[in-house]
Structure 1
């Protein structure tokens, strides 16, 4: 058969199939790439913004004798090559090419200070590139000196300027270290970091700053500083008699990380640590990268769960719409193929012609959609290749199979006036089994939760499919029954159009209503996506208020002077300022401690007016306590003075301050002399101006916290994908409505033509068509909306979206009525407009173009 001629005859349908396939393949191949690219960006951002202690790998080797000492740089380089050689390939791919090596002593006391001052010895492999010497000179070769009749090593060292004033040191001073195994250091210069904000110094903060440590039970602080010595001085640092450790820091190259390899990297870290420990030098691996990857993979698993659900629904609906269009194409070809079959054409030729025409439409468009998907940034996943192939196979395979079944015998004739057979007991049993299994699956998913060990739990992916199929079966079987009730009511009236329209809707065959059921998964998944998106947005706003506790919060380590508070109150845009004091207080007379916030709760509640968080009233002389402090009646609190406060109530969290542990809110008036260190501000405040007024304070805003949550790459990816899928599915739902109108157009035209011979007017024909189509669309739309609204609750613990909502559980899946109303109204409007368009087109046809000779006899 001439496929090109068939394509010209049915050009309109072929063009529609081409466009639908192009869009479907672009979405199926492009969205996964965009998602995976966003996942990679999220991991790289997480690694880049993490502290050095979290992200980098540190191999530590300790020395306790001269035999274990490393005295030359070449020894460090040799061990660095060893660590990199035993690093697993998956981990090696994300490690930077250069290492940072160091040698440091710890807890090296200054002789005669009673453990109050510690001057540790340090060496950095790249100190010459990291520091500038500002006074004196750089350290030189080591020497020896005499101490109590013994010859001890003397090292030349440098310190930061801060150490001179904090620890009473001076350039040129020689200091003896240790209580046994003494050594001496001579301070020959001071230095400063070339870039103090470089991530490098997070690992070496002990060199840049004096650490002040208050031991438990002590009244005076210990002061610790680590000095810098030269490569030559390294030979004089020994682990004999002091705590000496060598470090090889392997920095992570965040730009080379990708989300797909994250599990392999996590496993490689464990393997690397195990292998390093059995080397001759017995290296100990220290890193927070495993915890960082665990947190990322947990958030990624939630994102992938939602993505698989909505993209799976999108693929199913896209395939369904393409199959509907293919059915329309084969229906249009039915007369031609029947004629060819009657003239001796084989079944293979007839089915091959239908498949070839379909392939002519879907194959080029699939290739075009596949090619366009490469304009979307992101890695190429297997679904990018498999998705378009699946679309082509579904379209061509359905065309071949349907044509082969319809033309098994030549000169086939279908009788539209024969009543359809009742479903068999076996079919009813199978459908009931599907419904029971879907409900049981939803119950078990909520009861048992997810199988974390299985990664993507297949149970979670199957339950939504089963629920959608169950809802479709129930709709298909039950929708005629309410319609028959309306038919009986319409039969009592004098108008014939309502009775005829509803009767045709109630008696529609299963084959005629199946196209409309594409609406059910389309609406279900799109509403599910909208519900999830709204739930995330609402919880993000709640989380931002929980994090800050006010539109603007000012926190200071020192007391905020009253004059500064007055200047803040006088700022433009400030409506209210609530002062507060925070501190750690004694509970009772024991060692029990709790975090406390002293504030005027009545004023704070006015600041929180209209916010999703709030606080109960707090009368004077009472306190609000955390769940861990409940049931104690009157609480004795030690804070500035002893206070006895009655327990007014229990609160789960204090917005902007505490959400776990032991905490309480007390009235600010209960303090003898409040030392305000927090300001809660309401109003449209300029943060830059506020920062200039309080330069030493930390500023937080609710809007800033909300923006930070929303700007997270994973969060923005989830919400963006949900929006795209919602729009795409809404479009597919409209296409399904149009296709259902077109597929039944021929049969409907015959019925309307019969009635026109009996005096049916054009307006009555339009109303008849609307009443025939609209009930099924409305029923399916309502079921789809209900399914979408119920899926989040049905999936229960299977969808954990807290990672995208400030670590708060997303449990409020309420949906604004605007979304379902717009979807239902849009579909109904499309059905009505389609019905009017159909009758307008049919009106231009003569009865002879529809009715055959003998049809009216």
Structure 2
């Protein structure tokens, strides 16, 4: 066989097959790289956003006596080298940064305060590079003094600048610590953090800020501050008589983390904790980290993203392969005549099949290699599917060409009857198809009933059910499609016009083999509609979540009261349309210890401000709206600025911008004797920095910024962009499938139309006949695909939790937006109509005599 000659003769078909292969390989290799790259970026961003105290590995041990005390830096260094040596290999790339060590006391009371004030002692191994001394001097070696007949240590310490006024301390002051085992601290220096935003400070926030804690059963908050001492202070610091702990922090570098490594990282952290525990010589060593929980939360969100990606990318791959198979079938049909002659002249079956396979390989192999190579321009790791996807495309295309040609040319001078009605399916086949449909429906019901598997990871059941539903829809369409058409045929047969009868009859008598190419539309439309519906559901829920987080177009909140002058300046600011005043705080419910969060606001004004927003509150003129935890109390009393009796006027599950769970209530702002406004709800187009300038002590947020923060999450943007790309690709493949199905049946259709034209069929009638033959199947398939795409989100709802991409709100109510499905259906119908008119125009150029001679020969 002259492969090159055949390739030149069918260059157009070869080019179409190459372009389809290139696009399919690029999508199947590029999209997984992009999605996995976004998963990695999402993991790194999540770890960066978490405090270092949660992500880092902290080895800690308590000292209970002099035998367990560490008195010099060298002892800390020795143990740090040990921790790094026993770090599992999976964690070492993430813990290469320089860590730090510390020694701290906790709950060290100031003598004579009865537990009303605590001043703790601490040593940081890297204090010299983390603090600047802005007053006094750096601490030196400890001294001793006599107190109540005992010699006690006197530690020189430094204290953070802001703690002096808050704690009532001063530079040069000496403070006695302890209630029985005494020690003294002399404040010799005042420090300030060189970089307060350094992640390492999350381990030592007690050095930078006064910590207020409320002891159990106490009414007032107690202040705690931790001071800083020198290396020499370790020589006198002992765990005997006070709470002393040592820490070694191994910082985690999120830049080295990858989403594929998450399961191994969790196992490595557990192994590290186990090995550290084995090093115990006195008090046990522990590993403190929230890294497993962070990784678990990420895996939960990632699992959902992967499920959605598997569904849409799997559908894209299946549809792409189907369209490529259609193009191979078109090439095989064009090769049918020369291969038949070659077979009749003595060509062997392997030669004939090999020729078709070689031509297919000549078209798809270079295109697949090019698509595979271009995919490496997409940032992201190379997953197995990146290599296997293009190879699968090549194998399917070449294999189908060889198998189809071999089956068609099993015997020389093969022939077939085109006027034989389709055989009835066997009872075994019908039973099998009914079983598939029943299993698909049962699987969808069970998925909704049981939800996801609790074992974690991907639930195979979730991936099988959509495939089963698609196959079931295809089988039902194949079997049921002819029956309504036959009814239309009977109606058309009563009329005098022949074109409707002939067109619908040919459509109803189409064999399964001619219907299968068009059924590629079903998964294409089903998956694209599913992707569009899910994407729209995510977008809608994201907007709702942003309003739920902020509660107004713009919200200004402060811990203390906002001055009236600042409120007036905000009202006069250009662009401000409405300002609603509110006061938030914690109130006493009844006369016991029960407390609840409360907001006092003019609900009527707030409702006007939320007009048109996806969140709302019921009206309230008096009384209170309460949370479900406070329901059923009737009239109750609260203590805020004064004692107020309130009647329950309604129950609300959440208050937009403020409360989503727990005990809370909404009251009219008029119940306050003098409202201490600490919250402003603003409508209008106002620059946020300008508001922050007018109210310096407040935090300014907006609904638009909250929405951007939700949408900019890497996982969220990846899911939405992938859904958009897949929707566009599937729409293109659906249109290509229609075109290819028209071209594949063009020769047979042209022969039938030409014969009918010899009997007096006009050109316009020929066009209508072709449209009636093609359009019903396309419309039926489009409607079934539309229904499948709309059913899939509801069927998979319990198994696909998309709340991670919608501000933690569940995405469950998918709106029925028929714009995209209608556009796809209209586009497919338009392509079918254009194909029908093009087919008629081409058929008009044929010589009817030539057609008759060909028909006579057959």
Instruction: Name the TM-score class by shorter chain.
Output: over 0.9
The answer for the alignment partner of 2:280 in structure 1 is: 280
The 5-angstrom pairing of residues 52-451 of structure 1 reads 52-218=52-218, 221-281=221-281, 282-451=284-453
Aligned residues of 1:749 and 1:850 also touching (Cα < 8 A)? no
Aligned residues of 2:462 and 2:799 also touching (Cα < 8 A)? yes
CA shift for structure 1 position 144 = 2.6
Q: Which runs of 5+ in 2 are unaligned?
A: none
Higher mean Cα deviation, 426-435 or 525-534?
Answer: 426-435
Aligned residues of 1:534 and 1:815 also touching (Cα < 8 A)? no
Following the alignment from structure 1 to structure 2, what is the Cα–Cα distance between the partners of residues 647 and 641? 18
Residue 680 (1) aligns with residue 681 (2):
yes
Following the alignment from structure 2 to structure 1, what is the Cα–Cα distance between the partners of residues 16 and 627? 63
The answer for the alignment partner of 1:452 in structure 2 is: 454
The 5-angstrom pairing of residues 408-807 of structure 1 reads 408-620=410-622, 622-807=623-808
Deviations 1:826-849 (A, max 9, x none): 111111111111111121222244
Following the alignment from structure 2 to structure 1, what is the Cα–Cα distance between the partners of residues 855 and 659? 85
CA shift for structure 1 position 853 = 5.2
Following the alignment from structure 1 to structure 2, what is the Cα–Cα distance between the partners of residues 483 and 683? 58
Higher mean Cα deviation, 736-745 or 486-495?
Answer: 486-495
Deviations 1:282-305 (A, max 9, x none): 211111112111111110000000
CA shift for structure 1 position 325 = 0.8
Aligned to 2:852, the other structure's residue is in SS state coil
Higher mean Cα deviation, 244-253 or 161-170?
Answer: 161-170
Following the alignment from structure 1 to structure 2, what is the Cα–Cα distance between the partners of residues 558 and 141? 42
Aligned to 1:232, the other structure's residue is in SS state helix
Q: Which runs of 5+ in 1 are unaligned?
A: none
CA shift for structure 1 position 600 = 1.4
CA shift for structure 1 position 577 = 1.3
Aligned residues of 2:755 and 2:851 also touching (Cα < 8 A)? no
Residue 11 (1) aligns with residue 16 (2):
no
CA shift for structure 1 position 220 = 5.2
Aligned to 2:91, the other structure's residue is in SS state helix
Aligned to 1:315, the other structure's residue is in SS state helix
Aligned to 1:108, the other structure's residue is in SS state coil
Following the alignment from structure 1 to structure 2, what is the Cα–Cα distance between the partners of residues 191 and 830? 75
Deviations 1:513-537 (A, max 9, x none): 1100000000000000000000000
Aligned to 1:153, the other structure's residue is in SS state strand
Residue 42 (1) aligns with residue 38 (2):
no
The 5-angstrom pairing of residues 817-856 of structure 1 reads 817-852=818-853, 855=856
Following the alignment from structure 2 to structure 1, what is the Cα–Cα distance between the partners of residues 253 and 580? 45
TM-score scaled by structure 1? 0.98
Following the alignment from structure 1 to structure 2, what is the Cα–Cα distance between the partners of residues 20 and 219? 74
Higher mean Cα deviation, 784-793 or 210-219?
Answer: 210-219
Aligned residues of 2:66 and 2:240 also touching (Cα < 8 A)? yes
Following the alignment from structure 2 to structure 1, what is the Cα–Cα distance between the partners of residues 33 and 44? 16
CA shift for structure 1 position 706 = 0.6
Higher mean Cα deviation, 462-471 or 487-496?
Answer: 487-496
Q: 1:629 to 1:158 in 2, by over 3 A?
A: closer
Following the alignment from structure 1 to structure 2, what is the Cα–Cα distance between the partners of residues 649 and 417? 74
CA shift for structure 1 position 509 = 1.1
Aligned to 2:231, the other structure's residue is in SS state coil
Following the alignment from structure 1 to structure 2, what is the Cα–Cα distance between the partners of residues 853 and 523? 39
Higher mean Cα deviation, 360-369 or 734-743?
Answer: 360-369
Following the alignment from structure 2 to structure 1, what is the Cα–Cα distance between the partners of residues 107 and 741? 81
CA shift for structure 1 position 219 = 5.5
Aligned residues of 2:421 and 2:509 also touching (Cα < 8 A)? no
Following the alignment from structure 2 to structure 1, what is the Cα–Cα distance between the partners of residues 441 and 576? 55
CA shift for structure 1 position 658 = 0.8
Higher mean Cα deviation, 287-296 or 798-807?
Answer: 287-296
CA shift for structure 1 position 217 = 4.7
Following the alignment from structure 1 to structure 2, what is the Cα–Cα distance between the partners of residues 369 and 379? 16
Higher mean Cα deviation, 562-571 or 126-135?
Answer: 562-571
Aligned residues of 1:594 and 1:663 also touching (Cα < 8 A)? yes
Following the alignment from structure 1 to structure 2, what is the Cα–Cα distance between the partners of residues 460 and 454? 12
Higher mean Cα deviation, 490-499 or 373-382?
Answer: 490-499
Following the alignment from structure 1 to structure 2, what is the Cα–Cα distance between the partners of residues 356 and 243? 80
Aligned to 2:824, the other structure's residue is in SS state helix
CA shift for structure 1 position 321 = 0.6
Q: 1:454 to 1:587 in 2, by over 3 A?
A: closer
CA shift for structure 1 position 232 = 1.9
Following the alignment from structure 1 to structure 2, what is the Cα–Cα distance between the partners of residues 354 and 182? 94
RMSD: 1.6
Following the alignment from structure 1 to structure 2, what is the Cα–Cα distance between the partners of residues 851 and 9? 26
Following the alignment from structure 2 to structure 1, what is the Cα–Cα distance between the partners of residues 531 and 408? 39
Following the alignment from structure 1 to structure 2, what is the Cα–Cα distance between the partners of residues 646 and 589? 16
Q: 1:291 to 1:646 in 2, by over 3 A?
A: same
Following the alignment from structure 1 to structure 2, what is the Cα–Cα distance between the partners of residues 642 and 152? 51
Following the alignment from structure 2 to structure 1, what is the Cα–Cα distance between the partners of residues 645 and 172? 58
Deviations 1:175-231 (A, max 9, x none): 332223322333322221111221121211211223333434546543322222222
Following the alignment from structure 2 to structure 1, what is the Cα–Cα distance between the partners of residues 339 and 323? 23
The answer for the alignment partner of 1:809 in structure 2 is: 810
Following the alignment from structure 2 to structure 1, what is the Cα–Cα distance between the partners of residues 99 and 638? 52
Following the alignment from structure 2 to structure 1, what is the Cα–Cα distance between the partners of residues 697 and 526? 53
Following the alignment from structure 1 to structure 2, what is the Cα–Cα distance between the partners of residues 9 and 759? 35
Aligned residues of 2:422 and 2:509 also touching (Cα < 8 A)? no
Following the alignment from structure 1 to structure 2, what is the Cα–Cα distance between the partners of residues 16 and 122? 73
CA shift for structure 1 position 639 = 2.6
Following the alignment from structure 1 to structure 2, what is the Cα–Cα distance between the partners of residues 854 and 722? 49
Aligned residues of 2:533 and 2:814 also touching (Cα < 8 A)? yes
Following the alignment from structure 2 to structure 1, what is the Cα–Cα distance between the partners of residues 646 and 340? 92
Aligned to 1:450, the other structure's residue is in SS state coil
Following the alignment from structure 1 to structure 2, what is the Cα–Cα distance between the partners of residues 220 and 613? 38
Deviations 1:17-39 (A, max 9, x none): 11100100000000000000000
Following the alignment from structure 2 to structure 1, what is the Cα–Cα distance between the partners of residues 749 and 368? 33
CA shift for structure 1 position 638 = 2.7
Following the alignment from structure 1 to structure 2, what is the Cα–Cα distance between the partners of residues 649 and 165? 46
CA shift for structure 1 position 311 = 0.3
**How many matched pairs?**
856
Following the alignment from structure 1 to structure 2, what is the Cα–Cα distance between the partners of residues 170 and 450? 60
Aligned to 1:845, the other structure's residue is in SS state coil
CA shift for structure 1 position 506 = 1.1
Aligned to 2:415, the other structure's residue is in SS state coil
The answer for the alignment partner of 1:2 in structure 2 is: 2
CA shift for structure 1 position 484 = 1.6
Aligned residues of 2:584 and 2:598 also touching (Cα < 8 A)? yes
Following the alignment from structure 1 to structure 2, what is the Cα–Cα distance between the partners of residues 163 and 640? 29
Higher mean Cα deviation, 506-515 or 578-587?
Answer: 578-587
